[in-house]
Structure 1
Amino acid sequence: MLSEVLLVSAPGKVILHGEHAVVHGKVALAVALNLRTFLRLQPHSNGKVDLSLPNIGIKRAWDVARLQSLDTSFLGEGKEEKPEQGDVTTPTPEQVEKLKEVAGLPDDCAVTKRLAVLAFLYLYLSICRKQRALPSLDIVVWSELPPGAGLGSSAAYSVSLAAALLTVCEEIPNPLKDGDCANRWTKEDLELINKWAFQGERMIHGNPSGVDNAVSTWGGALRYHQGKISSLKRPPALQILLTNTKVPRNTRALVAGVRNRLLKFPEIVAPLLTSMDAISLECERVLGEMGEAPAPEQYLVLEELIDMNQHHLNALGVGHASLDQLCQVTRAHGLHSKLTGAGGGGCGITLLKPGLEQPEVEATKQALTSCGFDCLETSIGAPGVSIHSATSLDSRVQQALGGL
């Protein structure tokens, strides 16, 4: 087992095009958001496993000896043998119940906190049980991503955990070399990280699509179609405003609403979904052609696609007055916006073209903030899960570490 401190980060995600249509077999484009979850793992010898999640107010510790005694019962009867390297196991209902006992959380613990702890315990026990003895670790995870906003915060958490635990247990090598500020794992190692992260997502969401953890693992932009995920080659890093309307939404109800509208008006809604599919494909084509020196006309096409898709989403019934207000405010500043994710509130994205004067960007942000929204400038197409040097942290990580 490695003895050095590990610092890992993984990005969140936004859906660029294809939300809701993807449920009905159409293409969706998901892109990595340059807001990240950071994890610091420090091996120690105090016989405990400590987990701190300051964003959601979790600080727990477990005795390694007690967790070690659970190893056989956690594996299940007849499965006492240790897993082979690279084996990825799916949580069973019996294991979930066992983990709930181990977690020792109070009955009134919030669901978000409970699921985060269960995902951690599952990944820790499953990945580390190949060790001669379960390791004593101190793990802190903090995030720039707001939880429950549809930005892939749980996937970034699961990906960061999987990458750090696999590395500390030497299931995959540490790719960080002397002099590196940051580095990434090989394709083969990333595939293993992604498989384990998906199991963490299953602990949290039950039956996830796998898109969020894939985007957080690989970064850049991904195409998702009928369960198949593929990376877009060299997508540009686009500057955006990310706006959180802070209006809560019920994803399940919104998805059901679109399905009901399709059943009620098939000849109207089916062509909308087909058109949304075409928007995703056209956006994929344009992104593939943009390269490192995008032409102004390519941004004009992206803006048109954003406008058309937002109108389609409103026609599907997943818009909201807050999102209409977002679009109106940004349009007054010559910018183009759409919802991202389930809709009904939640978040929206606004494309920022190169050459846009910073005072205009600040004026737009101020106008959105005056509406009661949270707004920040960031980018999409960010790198996936990465490992960083603890001695050469960027200012974002330094700031986060300074508060812990």
Structure 2
Amino acid sequence: MPSVSAFKVSAPGSTMLMGEHAVLQGEVALVCAVDARIEVTLRPRPDRQVHIHSSLCQYQSELDQLTPQPALSFVLAAVSAYRTQLPSGFDLIIESGFSSTIGLGSSAAVTAAMVVALEHFAGVESTRLEQFRRGLAIIHAVQEGRGSGADLAASLSGGMVCFSLSPLKIETLPCPDGLTLSLFYCGYKMKTPEVLRYVEKRWQQQPQLLQQLYRMMGATSQAAINALKSADLVTLGRLMQVYQGLMDALGVNDATLAKMVADLRQDPAVLGTKISGSGLGDCVLTLGKTPPQDLQGFSQISIMPATQGALLVEKG
């Protein structure tokens, strides 16, 4: 029997404040861990079976010969990555404080939780940077090599994170007093790899212009990070408007999102508003000192920055 008893790991979701798309080209991004969290509870078994209980599905398999299950692709990719280091099979319960259909980085959050949980189970000690690299390899294995890891960095570290992939930088920033974030879900979502393929096809005849657009996105993100460090929420809000225009130019806005952005900008409580995520669906993010009024017909989610990243919250 393994020496580790049952335990629980919690990891926060995240939302991108600035840097979508351009972060994949080496530009800086600003991402925020949020107080909606995913928890995984791991209980060792006396055999080599893996039993997973989730709202998405129920799963059973042999640890040494995992059967595929698309609904659990990130979880199983993590198990596969650590399989040879694990002392036994296990029961796993996955509980989420938010829906996987809403853009709060659920895939990154569950990957972060799994990396911390499986390393604890295997008796592996590693730094956050090592955990990030292993988690990103897991995400890339599922997403055909795509994904910057910005959301993973936020889920592991917590707080406001200044992130770049090349060169790798994960810097936690102070969260200004009075910062209020809200998300409005448009009702549908396109998977990020599909959006990236759409952008590549749209710009295949103008690659140099596309690179210039990415550079402008990066410069806007850096200015936003400077505003955040100065606790200048008004300037941060204005830069969100600028970045929204760049996302529109990229081609990832649509009629529903455009109307949501326009309507939210009429609210005096809103300092800035933009698409959060890769676009062509998902959420619109607002920044203000108080929550904006409800946007009729769309679900609103008020979020707070999470100071704690992925952590072991309960030992058996």
Question: TM-score scaled to structure 1, two decimals?
Answer: 0.68
- CA change 1:166–1:260 in 2 (3 A) is closer
Between stretches 194-203 and 330-339, larger displacement belongs to 194-203
State yes or no: 1:285 paired with 2:226.
yes
Distance 1:260 1:206 in 2: 17
Q: Deviations over 1:335-370 (max 9, x none)?
A: 1310011111111211131xx3xxxx3x723xx2x3
Question: SS of 1:332's equivalent?
Answer: coil
Distance 1:384 1:230 in 2: 17
Instruction: Looking at secondary structure, tell me which structure has more strand per residue.
Output: 2
Name the residue aligned to 1:210.
149
State yes or no: 1:341 paired with 2:277.
yes
Distance 1:229 1:18 in 2: 15
Q: Which has the larger radius of gyration?
A: 1
Deviation at 1:386, TM superposition (A): 1.4
Deviation at 1:155, TM superposition (A): 1.7
Deviation at 1:387, TM superposition (A): 1.8
* Residue from 191, 215, 221 that aligns with 1:274: 215
Name the residue aligned to 1:6.
7
| Contact 1:122–1:200 (CA under 8 A) maintained in structure 2 | no
Partner letter of residue 348 of structure 1? V
- Structure 1 stretches of 4+ with a deviation exceeding 6 A read none
| Contact 1:245–1:346 (CA under 8 A) maintained in structure 2 | yes
Deviation at 1:41, TM superposition (A): 1.6
Deviation at 1:50, TM superposition (A): 2.1
Deviation at 1:199, TM superposition (A): 3.6
Distance 2:211 2:124 in 1: 47
| Contact 2:190–2:281 (CA under 8 A) maintained in structure 1 | yes
Distance 1:201 1:266 in 2: 26
Distance 1:200 1:145 in 2: 22
* Residue from 186, 194, 203 that aligns with 2:132: 194
Deviation at 1:147, TM superposition (A): 2.3
State yes or no: 1:125 paired with 2:66.
no
Structure 2: state its 5+ residue gaps: none
Distance 1:267 1:198 in 2: 28
Distance 2:215 2:241 in 1: 16
Q: Deviations over 1:285-323 (max 9, x none)?
A: 122233xxxxxxx11101101111112211221111221
Partner letter of residue 142 of structure 1? E
- CA change 1:223–1:2 in 2 (3 A) is same
State yes or no: 1:59 paired with 2:17.
no
Name the residue aligned to 2:180.
239
| Contact 2:163–2:171 (CA under 8 A) maintained in structure 1 | no
Question: TM-score scaled to structure 2, two decimals?
Answer: 0.84
Superposition map of 1:383-398 within 5 A: 383-389=308-314
State yes or no: 1:151 paired with 2:104.
yes
Deviation at 1:7, TM superposition (A): 1.5
- CA change 1:41–1:260 in 2 (3 A) is closer
Partner letter of residue 30 of structure 2? L
Name the residue aligned to 1:374.
299
Q: Deviations over 1:87-136 (max 9, x none)?
A: xxxxxxxxxxxx4xx32x6xxx6x334x24532541451331xxxxx324
Distance 1:219 1:15 in 2: 13
Partner letter of residue 110 of structure 2? Y
Identity %: 25
Instruction: Looking at secondary structure, tell me which structure has more helix per residue.
Output: 1
Distance 1:33 1:317 in 2: 27
How many residues align? The count is 310
Question: How large is the RMSD of aligned CA atoms in angstroms?
Answer: 2.9
Q: Deviations over 1:127-149 (max 9, x none)?
A: 31xxxxx3242211121243254
| Contact 2:16–2:151 (CA under 8 A) maintained in structure 1 | no
Distance 1:263 1:206 in 2: 20
